Structure 1
Amino acid sequence: MTHLLFFTVEGLTCALPLAETRQVVGMVELQPPTGKRRGGAGTMNLRGRTVPVYSLRRLLGLADRPPLPTDVLVIAHLSGECVALWADGVQGVQGSPIQFPPEADASSPPGMVLTEDGKIIIYDLGAFLAAEETAQYPLRPGTAGTGGGTPPHDAEKAGEVLTERARAFAQPEEEETGEIPFSELLTFRLADQEYAIKTQYIREVFIMHEITPVPGVPDFIVGICAVRGEIISVVDLRALFSIPKRGLTDLNRVIVLSDGTVTFGILADYITDIYIRPTDQFSPVEPETTPIEQRYLLGVTEGSVLVLDAAAILADPAMMIGQTRK
Protein backbone atom coordinates (compact mmCIF):
# COMPACT_ATOMS: atom_id res chain seq x y z
CA MET A 1 0.00 0.00 0.00
CA THR A 2 1.43 3.36 -1.10
CA HIS A 3 0.14 6.56 0.51
CA LEU A 4 -0.45 9.35 -1.96
CA LEU A 5 -1.07 13.08 -1.60
CA PHE A 6 -3.93 14.01 -3.95
CA PHE A 7 -4.31 17.49 -5.44
CA THR A 8 -6.25 19.06 -8.30
CA VAL A 9 -5.31 20.98 -11.44
CA GLU A 10 -8.07 22.41 -13.66
CA GLY A 11 -10.50 19.68 -12.64
CA LEU A 12 -7.95 16.87 -12.96
CA THR A 13 -6.93 14.79 -9.95
CA CYS A 14 -3.19 14.23 -9.57
CA ALA A 15 -1.14 12.53 -6.88
CA LEU A 16 2.41 12.25 -5.60
CA PRO A 17 3.79 9.65 -3.16
CA LEU A 18 3.50 11.11 0.33
CA ALA A 19 7.07 10.01 1.10
CA GLU A 20 8.31 12.49 -1.53
CA THR A 21 6.39 15.47 -0.18
CA ARG A 22 7.75 17.85 2.43
CA GLN A 23 4.84 20.23 3.02
CA VAL A 24 1.99 22.10 1.34
CA VAL A 25 1.86 25.89 1.54
CA GLY A 26 -0.36 28.59 0.13
CA MET A 27 0.59 30.19 -3.18
CA VAL A 28 3.08 33.07 -2.97
CA GLU A 29 4.32 35.80 -5.30
CA LEU A 30 6.84 34.13 -7.59
CA GLN A 31 10.16 35.52 -8.73
CA PRO A 32 11.18 35.19 -12.41
CA PRO A 33 12.45 31.71 -13.37
CA THR A 34 16.17 31.07 -13.57
CA GLY A 35 17.11 29.24 -16.75
CA LYS A 36 14.76 27.39 -19.08
CA ARG A 37 12.86 24.50 -17.55
CA ARG A 38 9.82 22.80 -19.02
CA GLY A 39 6.89 23.96 -16.93
CA GLY A 40 9.01 26.44 -14.98
CA ALA A 41 6.81 29.18 -13.48
CA GLY A 42 9.42 30.97 -11.35
CA THR A 43 11.05 30.55 -7.96
CA MET A 44 10.09 31.09 -4.34
CA ASN A 45 12.18 31.91 -1.29
CA LEU A 46 11.49 29.23 1.32
CA ARG A 47 13.27 30.16 4.57
CA GLY A 48 16.27 31.53 2.68
CA ARG A 49 16.38 28.73 0.10
CA THR A 50 15.56 29.36 -3.57
CA VAL A 51 13.06 26.72 -4.66
CA PRO A 52 12.10 26.29 -8.35
CA VAL A 53 8.35 26.27 -8.95
CA TYR A 54 6.79 24.14 -11.72
CA SER A 55 3.34 24.79 -13.11
CA LEU A 56 1.40 21.55 -13.42
CA ARG A 57 -0.89 23.31 -15.86
CA ARG A 58 2.02 23.82 -18.25
CA LEU A 59 3.45 20.36 -17.64
CA LEU A 60 0.10 18.78 -18.53
CA GLY A 61 -0.60 21.06 -21.50
CA LEU A 62 -3.53 22.89 -19.85
CA ALA A 63 -4.48 26.54 -20.23
CA ASP A 64 -2.22 28.84 -18.21
CA ARG A 65 -3.48 31.48 -15.76
CA PRO A 66 -2.06 33.84 -13.10
CA PRO A 67 -1.50 32.55 -9.53
CA LEU A 68 -4.40 32.92 -7.06
CA PRO A 69 -4.32 33.02 -3.24
CA THR A 70 -6.41 29.83 -3.21
CA ASP A 71 -3.73 27.92 -5.14
CA VAL A 72 -1.20 25.74 -3.33
CA LEU A 73 2.45 24.79 -3.69
CA VAL A 74 3.33 21.16 -3.01
CA ILE A 75 6.94 21.18 -1.77
CA ALA A 76 8.61 17.91 -2.75
CA HIS A 77 12.03 16.27 -2.36
CA LEU A 78 14.06 15.73 -5.52
CA SER A 79 17.66 14.43 -5.40
CA GLY A 80 18.39 16.09 -2.07
CA GLU A 81 16.86 19.41 -3.15
CA CYS A 82 13.37 20.87 -2.99
CA VAL A 83 11.01 21.74 -5.84
CA ALA A 84 7.47 23.11 -5.72
CA LEU A 85 4.52 21.98 -7.82
CA TRP A 86 1.86 24.64 -8.40
CA ALA A 87 -1.63 23.13 -8.09
CA ASP A 88 -5.19 24.42 -7.64
CA GLY A 89 -5.86 22.72 -4.30
CA VAL A 90 -5.24 19.67 -2.10
CA GLN A 91 -7.76 16.85 -1.63
CA GLY A 92 -5.97 14.87 1.09
CA VAL A 93 -3.94 11.71 1.67
CA GLN A 94 -5.14 8.21 0.80
CA GLY A 95 -3.60 4.77 0.58
CA SER A 96 -3.47 3.18 -2.88
CA PRO A 97 -2.64 -0.38 -4.00
CA ILE A 98 -1.47 0.90 -7.40
CA GLN A 99 1.61 -0.80 -8.82
CA PHE A 100 4.14 1.51 -10.44
CA PRO A 101 6.04 0.39 -13.58
CA PRO A 102 9.42 -1.15 -12.64
CA GLU A 103 11.05 0.55 -15.65
CA ALA A 104 10.29 2.97 -18.44
CA ASP A 105 7.11 2.09 -20.32
CA ALA A 106 6.78 3.59 -23.80
CA SER A 107 2.99 3.45 -23.52
CA SER A 108 2.94 5.90 -20.59
CA PRO A 109 4.39 9.41 -20.23
CA PRO A 110 7.70 9.44 -18.29
CA GLY A 111 7.35 9.22 -14.54
CA MET A 112 3.56 9.00 -14.41
CA VAL A 113 0.68 6.60 -14.87
CA LEU A 114 -2.94 7.25 -15.77
CA THR A 115 -5.40 5.22 -13.72
CA GLU A 116 -8.61 3.73 -15.09
CA ASP A 117 -10.65 6.46 -13.38
CA GLY A 118 -8.56 9.25 -14.92
CA LYS A 119 -6.22 10.10 -12.05
CA ILE A 120 -2.63 11.14 -12.83
CA ILE A 121 -0.13 9.46 -10.49
CA ILE A 122 3.35 11.02 -10.58
CA TYR A 123 5.40 8.11 -9.25
CA ASP A 124 8.83 9.39 -10.41
CA LEU A 125 8.99 13.17 -10.05
CA GLY A 126 12.50 13.43 -11.50
CA ALA A 127 11.52 11.63 -14.72
CA PHE A 128 8.27 13.57 -14.93
CA LEU A 129 10.03 16.96 -14.76
CA ALA A 130 12.89 15.86 -17.04
CA ALA A 131 10.61 14.72 -19.88
CA GLU A 132 11.23 16.29 -23.29
CA GLU A 133 9.33 19.39 -24.33
CA THR A 134 7.49 17.40 -27.00
CA ALA A 135 6.27 14.70 -24.58
CA GLN A 136 2.54 14.08 -24.94
CA TYR A 137 0.19 13.35 -22.05
CA PRO A 138 -2.65 11.26 -23.46
CA LEU A 139 -5.39 12.05 -20.96
CA ARG A 140 -8.25 9.60 -21.18
CA PRO A 141 -11.59 10.71 -22.68
CA GLY A 142 -13.67 12.60 -20.14
CA THR A 143 -10.71 13.69 -18.00
CA ALA A 144 -10.03 17.03 -19.69
CA GLY A 145 -9.84 20.06 -17.43
CA THR A 146 -13.11 21.70 -16.42
CA GLY A 147 -11.90 24.90 -14.84
CA GLY A 148 -13.09 27.24 -17.55
CA GLY A 149 -10.49 29.99 -17.09
CA THR A 150 -9.54 32.16 -14.15
CA PRO A 151 -12.11 32.23 -11.31
CA PRO A 152 -13.48 35.69 -10.40
CA HIS A 153 -11.17 37.50 -7.98
CA ASP A 154 -9.88 40.90 -6.90
CA ALA A 155 -6.52 41.11 -8.68
CA GLU A 156 -5.17 43.87 -6.42
CA LYS A 157 -6.12 42.08 -3.20
CA ALA A 158 -4.82 38.76 -4.57
CA GLY A 159 -1.48 40.39 -5.36
CA GLU A 160 -1.23 41.80 -1.84
CA VAL A 161 -1.89 38.38 -0.29
CA LEU A 162 0.70 36.66 -2.48
CA THR A 163 3.30 39.34 -1.71
CA GLU A 164 2.62 39.08 2.01
CA ARG A 165 3.00 35.31 1.94
CA ALA A 166 6.23 35.52 -0.03
CA ARG A 167 7.67 37.90 2.54
CA ALA A 168 6.69 35.64 5.43
CA PHE A 169 8.09 32.46 3.86
CA ALA A 170 11.36 34.23 3.03
CA GLN A 171 12.15 34.79 6.71
CA PRO A 172 14.74 32.29 8.04
CA GLU A 173 13.21 30.10 10.73
CA GLU A 174 15.66 31.16 13.42
CA GLU A 175 15.96 34.81 12.45
CA GLU A 176 14.82 37.39 14.97
CA THR A 177 13.98 40.49 12.92
CA GLY A 178 11.93 42.47 15.41
CA GLU A 179 9.27 42.83 12.71
CA ILE A 180 5.61 41.95 13.01
CA PRO A 181 5.28 38.14 13.32
CA PHE A 182 3.15 36.31 10.78
CA SER A 183 1.18 33.09 11.11
CA GLU A 184 0.03 30.80 8.32
CA LEU A 185 -3.55 29.79 9.01
CA LEU A 186 -5.79 27.06 7.68
CA THR A 187 -9.45 28.02 7.87
CA PHE A 188 -12.36 25.60 7.98
CA ARG A 189 -16.12 25.65 8.35
CA LEU A 190 -17.87 23.98 11.27
CA ALA A 191 -21.50 24.41 12.36
CA ASP A 192 -22.07 27.59 10.34
CA GLN A 193 -18.94 29.31 11.72
CA GLU A 194 -15.46 29.69 10.25
CA TYR A 195 -12.43 28.78 12.38
CA ALA A 196 -8.68 28.94 11.85
CA ILE A 197 -5.67 27.03 13.17
CA LYS A 198 -1.96 27.71 12.66
CA THR A 199 -0.64 25.31 10.04
CA GLN A 200 2.46 24.56 12.12
CA TYR A 201 0.22 22.28 14.20
CA ILE A 202 -1.48 20.63 11.21
CA ARG A 203 0.08 17.40 10.01
CA GLU A 204 -2.37 16.61 7.24
CA VAL A 205 -5.99 16.83 6.10
CA PHE A 206 -7.93 13.97 4.57
CA ILE A 207 -11.44 12.99 3.57
CA MET A 208 -13.10 11.17 6.44
CA HIS A 209 -13.29 7.41 6.10
CA GLU A 210 -14.32 4.75 8.61
CA ILE A 211 -14.23 5.86 12.25
CA THR A 212 -14.54 3.17 14.91
CA PRO A 213 -16.52 4.17 18.03
CA VAL A 214 -14.82 3.53 21.38
CA PRO A 215 -16.99 2.85 24.45
CA GLY A 216 -16.37 4.65 27.72
CA VAL A 217 -14.71 7.79 26.30
CA PRO A 218 -15.90 11.41 26.62
CA ASP A 219 -18.72 12.33 24.24
CA PHE A 220 -16.51 14.71 22.25
CA ILE A 221 -14.31 11.79 21.11
CA VAL A 222 -16.30 10.29 18.23
CA GLY A 223 -13.93 7.34 17.82
CA ILE A 224 -10.60 6.30 16.38
CA CYS A 225 -9.27 5.83 12.86
CA ALA A 226 -6.09 4.60 11.18
CA VAL A 227 -3.87 7.19 9.47
CA ARG A 228 -0.90 5.71 7.62
CA GLY A 229 -0.63 2.86 10.12
CA GLU A 230 -1.14 5.06 13.19
CA ILE A 231 -4.30 4.90 15.31
CA ILE A 232 -5.52 8.34 16.35
CA SER A 233 -8.58 9.60 18.18
CA VAL A 234 -11.02 11.89 16.37
CA VAL A 235 -12.58 14.84 18.19
CA ASP A 236 -15.82 16.70 17.47
CA LEU A 237 -15.16 20.30 18.51
CA ARG A 238 -18.88 20.96 18.65
CA ALA A 239 -19.18 18.61 21.63
CA LEU A 240 -15.85 19.65 23.17
CA PHE A 241 -16.75 23.34 23.17
CA SER A 242 -20.55 22.97 23.51
CA ILE A 243 -21.06 24.67 20.14
CA PRO A 244 -24.76 24.73 19.13
CA LYS A 245 -25.41 22.43 16.16
CA ARG A 246 -26.99 25.11 13.99
CA GLY A 247 -27.09 25.33 10.23
CA LEU A 248 -26.30 22.64 7.69
CA THR A 249 -23.27 20.51 8.47
CA ASP A 250 -21.43 17.77 6.61
CA LEU A 251 -18.49 16.54 8.66
CA ASN A 252 -16.39 15.01 5.88
CA ARG A 253 -12.87 16.25 6.62
CA VAL A 254 -10.42 15.27 9.35
CA ILE A 255 -7.70 17.77 10.27
CA VAL A 256 -4.84 15.96 12.01
CA LEU A 257 -3.25 18.10 14.73
CA SER A 258 0.12 17.31 16.29
CA ASP A 259 2.75 18.98 18.46
CA GLY A 260 5.23 16.13 18.09
CA THR A 261 3.99 14.43 21.24
CA VAL A 262 0.20 14.38 21.04
CA THR A 263 -1.67 13.66 17.80
CA PHE A 264 -5.41 13.51 17.10
CA GLY A 265 -7.90 14.57 14.45
CA ILE A 266 -10.70 17.12 14.54
CA LEU A 267 -13.79 17.05 12.34
CA ALA A 268 -14.66 19.83 9.89
CA ASP A 269 -17.33 20.39 7.27
CA TYR A 270 -14.78 21.55 4.70
CA ILE A 271 -11.54 23.51 4.31
CA THR A 272 -12.03 27.10 3.15
CA ASP A 273 -8.57 28.66 2.74
CA ILE A 274 -4.89 28.82 3.66
CA TYR A 275 -3.38 32.26 4.14
CA ILE A 276 -0.87 34.27 6.15
CA ARG A 277 -1.94 36.86 8.71
CA PRO A 278 0.05 39.17 11.02
CA THR A 279 -0.58 37.87 14.54
CA ASP A 280 -1.00 41.38 15.91
CA GLN A 281 -4.17 41.72 13.79
CA PHE A 282 -6.05 39.21 15.93
CA SER A 283 -8.68 41.00 18.00
CA PRO A 284 -9.87 39.81 21.44
CA VAL A 285 -12.92 37.57 21.37
CA GLU A 286 -15.95 38.85 23.23
CA PRO A 287 -17.07 36.07 25.60
CA GLU A 288 -20.74 36.41 24.63
CA THR A 289 -19.99 35.72 20.95
CA THR A 290 -18.92 32.08 21.43
CA PRO A 291 -19.25 29.32 24.02
CA ILE A 292 -15.56 28.44 23.55
CA GLU A 293 -13.41 29.20 26.60
CA GLN A 294 -10.89 32.02 26.19
CA ARG A 295 -7.95 29.69 26.93
CA TYR A 296 -8.63 27.90 23.63
CA LEU A 297 -8.70 31.10 21.55
CA LEU A 298 -5.98 33.29 20.09
CA GLY A 299 -8.40 35.91 18.82
CA VAL A 300 -10.64 36.77 15.90
CA THR A 301 -9.69 38.14 12.48
CA GLU A 302 -11.36 41.13 10.82
CA GLY A 303 -13.34 38.59 8.82
CA SER A 304 -14.93 37.18 12.00
CA VAL A 305 -12.86 33.99 11.80
CA LEU A 306 -12.20 32.54 15.28
CA VAL A 307 -8.54 31.56 15.62
CA LEU A 308 -8.17 28.49 17.85
CA ASP A 309 -5.10 27.95 20.03
CA ALA A 310 -3.98 24.53 18.79
CA ALA A 311 -1.20 24.37 21.38
CA ALA A 312 -3.73 24.72 24.21
CA ILE A 313 -6.06 22.15 22.68
CA LEU A 314 -3.23 19.64 22.19
CA ALA A 315 -2.03 20.22 25.78
CA ASP A 316 -5.48 19.53 27.26
CA PRO A 317 -5.33 16.19 29.17
CA ALA A 318 -8.92 15.51 28.11
CA MET A 319 -7.68 14.77 24.59
CA MET A 320 -6.13 11.50 25.74
CA ILE A 321 -8.48 8.52 25.62
CA GLY A 322 -8.81 7.03 29.08
CA GLN A 323 -8.72 10.37 30.89
CA THR A 324 -11.67 12.43 31.95
CA ARG A 325 -12.15 16.05 31.16
CA LYS A 326 -11.44 18.62 33.85
Structure 2
Amino acid sequence: MNGSESRAGPGGRSSTYVTFSLADETYAIDVLQVQEVLKVPDITPVPGVPDYILGIINLRGDVVTVIDARRRLGLPMREPDEASRIVIIDVDRQNIGILVDSVAEVVQIPEDAVDPAPAVGNEQTSRFILGVTSSGDGLTILIDLNKLLSDEEWTTLREL
Protein backbone atom coordinates (compact mmCIF):
# COMPACT_ATOMS: atom_id res chain seq x y z
CA MET A 1 0.00 0.00 0.00
CA ASN A 2 1.24 3.47 -0.80
CA GLY A 3 1.29 5.63 2.36
CA SER A 4 0.55 8.79 0.39
CA GLU A 5 -2.89 7.57 -0.69
CA SER A 6 -5.47 9.59 1.17
CA ARG A 7 -8.72 8.23 -0.16
CA ALA A 8 -10.38 4.87 0.03
CA GLY A 9 -10.73 2.76 -3.10
CA PRO A 10 -13.96 2.49 -5.08
CA GLY A 11 -16.83 2.01 -2.66
CA GLY A 12 -14.40 1.94 0.27
CA ARG A 13 -14.92 3.92 3.43
CA SER A 14 -12.43 5.90 5.43
CA SER A 15 -12.47 7.42 8.90
CA THR A 16 -10.80 10.50 10.28
CA TYR A 17 -8.38 10.27 13.20
CA VAL A 18 -6.28 12.59 15.34
CA THR A 19 -2.73 11.27 15.62
CA PHE A 20 -0.45 11.74 18.60
CA SER A 21 2.82 10.36 19.86
CA LEU A 22 3.70 8.37 22.95
CA ALA A 23 7.19 6.95 23.50
CA ASP A 24 8.22 7.51 19.85
CA GLU A 25 5.20 5.61 18.53
CA THR A 26 2.24 7.08 16.63
CA TYR A 27 -1.28 6.49 17.92
CA ALA A 28 -4.64 7.61 16.60
CA ILE A 29 -8.12 8.20 18.02
CA ASP A 30 -11.41 8.91 16.28
CA VAL A 31 -11.65 12.65 15.56
CA LEU A 32 -15.38 12.61 16.35
CA GLN A 33 -14.58 12.00 20.01
CA VAL A 34 -12.00 14.81 20.26
CA GLN A 35 -13.35 18.07 21.68
CA GLU A 36 -10.13 20.10 21.84
CA VAL A 37 -6.38 19.98 22.48
CA LEU A 38 -4.80 21.94 25.35
CA LYS A 39 -1.36 22.81 26.61
CA VAL A 40 -0.86 21.07 29.94
CA PRO A 41 -2.39 23.16 32.75
CA ASP A 42 -1.93 22.63 36.48
CA ILE A 43 -3.44 19.25 37.39
CA THR A 44 -4.87 18.77 40.87
CA PRO A 45 -4.13 15.27 42.22
CA VAL A 46 -7.01 13.19 43.59
CA PRO A 47 -6.18 10.72 46.37
CA GLY A 48 -7.18 7.07 46.12
CA VAL A 49 -7.52 6.83 42.34
CA PRO A 50 -5.74 4.37 40.02
CA ASP A 51 -2.15 5.40 39.19
CA TYR A 52 -2.97 6.23 35.55
CA ILE A 53 -5.33 9.01 36.67
CA LEU A 54 -3.26 12.17 37.09
CA GLY A 55 -6.03 14.21 38.68
CA ILE A 56 -8.48 16.90 37.63
CA ILE A 57 -8.40 20.22 35.81
CA ASN A 58 -10.83 23.11 35.59
CA LEU A 59 -11.90 23.60 31.98
CA ARG A 60 -14.04 26.75 31.75
CA GLY A 61 -15.89 25.87 34.94
CA ASP A 62 -16.16 22.13 34.29
CA VAL A 63 -14.11 19.59 36.25
CA VAL A 64 -12.32 17.23 33.86
CA THR A 65 -10.50 14.05 34.90
CA VAL A 66 -7.07 13.67 33.27
CA ILE A 67 -5.45 10.30 32.61
CA ASP A 68 -1.86 9.61 31.61
CA ALA A 69 -1.97 7.70 28.31
CA ARG A 70 1.56 6.37 28.91
CA ARG A 71 0.63 4.79 32.25
CA ARG A 72 -2.67 3.47 30.92
CA LEU A 73 -0.92 1.75 28.01
CA GLY A 74 1.91 0.39 30.17
CA LEU A 75 4.60 2.65 28.68
CA PRO A 76 7.50 4.21 30.63
CA MET A 77 6.56 7.37 32.53
CA ARG A 78 7.81 10.78 31.41
CA GLU A 79 7.33 14.28 32.77
CA PRO A 80 5.29 16.57 30.49
CA ASP A 81 7.28 19.08 28.43
CA GLU A 82 6.50 21.94 25.99
CA ALA A 83 5.24 19.52 23.33
CA SER A 84 2.95 17.60 25.72
CA ARG A 85 -0.77 18.10 25.27
CA ILE A 86 -4.02 17.10 26.88
CA VAL A 87 -6.56 15.83 24.37
CA ILE A 88 -10.08 16.46 25.64
CA ILE A 89 -12.36 13.67 24.48
CA ASP A 90 -16.06 13.03 24.85
CA VAL A 91 -17.00 9.65 26.28
CA ASP A 92 -20.66 9.07 27.07
CA ARG A 93 -21.28 12.85 27.13
CA GLN A 94 -18.51 13.34 29.69
CA ASN A 95 -15.26 15.18 28.93
CA ILE A 96 -12.05 13.32 29.82
CA GLY A 97 -8.49 14.58 29.31
CA ILE A 98 -5.71 12.33 28.02
CA LEU A 99 -2.09 13.41 28.48
CA VAL A 100 0.01 12.62 25.38
CA ASP A 101 3.61 13.44 24.39
CA SER A 102 2.50 15.55 21.40
CA VAL A 103 -0.35 15.88 18.92
CA ALA A 104 0.59 15.48 15.26
CA GLU A 105 -2.21 15.82 12.70
CA VAL A 106 -5.66 14.86 11.53
CA VAL A 107 -5.59 12.05 8.96
CA GLN A 108 -8.01 10.05 6.83
CA ILE A 109 -7.48 6.29 7.11
CA PRO A 110 -9.28 3.94 4.69
CA GLU A 111 -11.00 1.08 6.51
CA ASP A 112 -9.32 -1.44 4.21
CA ALA A 113 -5.90 -0.10 5.29
CA VAL A 114 -6.50 -1.07 8.92
CA ASP A 115 -5.11 -4.44 9.96
CA PRO A 116 -6.36 -6.30 13.05
CA ALA A 117 -4.45 -5.68 16.26
CA PRO A 118 -1.37 -7.90 16.36
CA ALA A 119 -0.93 -10.30 19.26
CA VAL A 120 1.88 -8.32 20.87
CA GLY A 121 2.37 -6.85 24.30
CA ASN A 122 0.30 -8.11 27.16
CA GLU A 123 -3.43 -8.69 27.28
CA GLN A 124 -3.83 -5.61 29.51
CA THR A 125 -2.65 -3.19 26.80
CA SER A 126 -3.52 -5.10 23.62
CA ARG A 127 -7.23 -4.93 24.46
CA PHE A 128 -7.11 -1.14 23.90
CA ILE A 129 -5.87 -1.51 20.31
CA LEU A 130 -8.50 -1.30 17.57
CA GLY A 131 -6.02 -2.05 14.79
CA VAL A 132 -2.89 -0.81 13.06
CA THR A 133 -2.17 0.85 9.75
CA SER A 134 1.10 1.57 8.00
CA SER A 135 2.25 4.58 6.04
CA GLY A 136 5.54 5.99 4.82
CA ASP A 137 6.16 7.18 8.38
CA GLY A 138 5.76 3.73 9.94
CA LEU A 139 2.93 2.15 11.91
CA THR A 140 0.00 3.99 13.45
CA ILE A 141 -1.82 2.25 16.29
CA LEU A 142 -5.56 2.92 16.45
CA ILE A 143 -6.84 3.19 20.02
CA ASP A 144 -10.35 2.16 21.05
CA LEU A 145 -11.25 4.90 23.56
CA ASN A 146 -14.30 3.03 24.82
CA LYS A 147 -12.10 0.09 25.87
CA LEU A 148 -9.38 2.41 27.19
CA LEU A 149 -11.91 3.89 29.60
CA SER A 150 -14.07 0.86 30.33
CA ASP A 151 -12.56 -1.06 33.24
CA GLU A 152 -14.20 -1.36 36.65
CA GLU A 153 -11.94 1.18 38.40
CA TRP A 154 -12.66 3.80 35.77
CA THR A 155 -16.41 3.12 35.71
CA THR A 156 -16.54 3.47 39.49
CA LEU A 157 -14.61 6.75 39.39
CA ARG A 158 -16.86 8.21 36.67
CA GLU A 159 -19.90 7.48 38.84
CA LEU A 160 -18.53 9.55 41.73
Tell me the TM-score range normalised by the shorter chain: 0.7 to 0.9
The answer on 1:179 being equivalent to 2:11 is yes
TM-score, normalised relative to structure 2: 0.79
Measured against aligned partners, the alpha-carbon deviations of 1:75-108 in whole angstroms (never above 9, x if no partner) come to xxxxxxxxxxxxxxxxxxxxxxxxxxxxxxxxxx
Whether the 8 Å contact between 1:187 and 1:274 is mirrored in structure 2 is yes
CA shift, 1:189, in A, is 0.9
Q: Measured at CA, do residues 190 and 318 of structure 1 come closer, stay the same or move farther in structure 2, by a change above 3 Å?
A: same
Residue identity opposite 1:277 in structure 2: I
Query: Matches of 2:122 and 2:15 in 1, distance apart?
Result: 23
Whether the 8 Å contact between 2:120 and 2:126 is mirrored in structure 1 is no
Residue identity opposite 2:93 in structure 1: T
CA shift, 1:316, in A, is 3.5
The answer on 1:200 being equivalent to 2:32 is yes
Q: Which residue of 2 aligns with 1:256?
A: 88
Whether the 8 Å contact between 1:233 and 1:321 is mirrored in structure 2 is no
Q: Which residue of 1 aligns with 2:143?
A: 308
CA shift, 1:192, in A, is 1.8
Q: Secondary structure at the match of 1:238?
A: helix
Q: Measured at CA, do residues 263 and 313 of structure 1 come closer, stay the same or move farther in structure 2, by a change above 3 Å?
A: farther
Whether the 8 Å contact between 2:71 and 2:77 is mirrored in structure 1 is no
CA shift, 1:244, in A, is 3.0
Q: Secondary structure at the match of 2:19?
A: strand
Q: Secondary structure at the match of 1:216?
A: coil
Q: Which residue of 2 aligns with 1:286?
A: 118
Larger radius of gyration: 1
The answer on 1:233 being equivalent to 2:44 is no
Query: Matches of 2:76 and 2:119 in 1, distance apart?
Result: 15
Q: What does residue range 64-83 of structure 1 map to in structure 2 within 5 Å?
A: none
Measured against aligned partners, the alpha-carbon deviations of 1:152-183 in whole angstroms (never above 9, x if no partner) come to xxxxx4xx53xx3xx9xxxxxxxxxx932211
Q: Which runs of 5+ in 2 are unaligned?
A: none
CA shift, 1:288, in A, is 2.5
Q: Which residue of 1 aligns with 2:54?
A: 222
Bigger relative CO (Cα 8 Å, ≥ 6 apart): 2
Q: Secondary structure at the match of 2:127?
A: helix
Identity, % of aligned positions: 33
Pairwise CA RMSD? 2.7
Q: Secondary structure at the match of 2:153?
A: helix
Greater per-residue strand proportion: 2
Query: Matches of 2:51 and 2:101 in 1, distance apart?
Result: 19
The answer on 1:266 being equivalent to 2:108 is no
CA shift, 1:320, in A, is 4.5
CA shift, 1:213, in A, is 0.7
Q: Measured at CA, do residues 223 and 289 of structure 1 come closer, stay the same or move farther in structure 2, by a change above 3 Å?
A: same
Residue correspondences, number: 150
Residue identity opposite 2:142 in structure 1: V
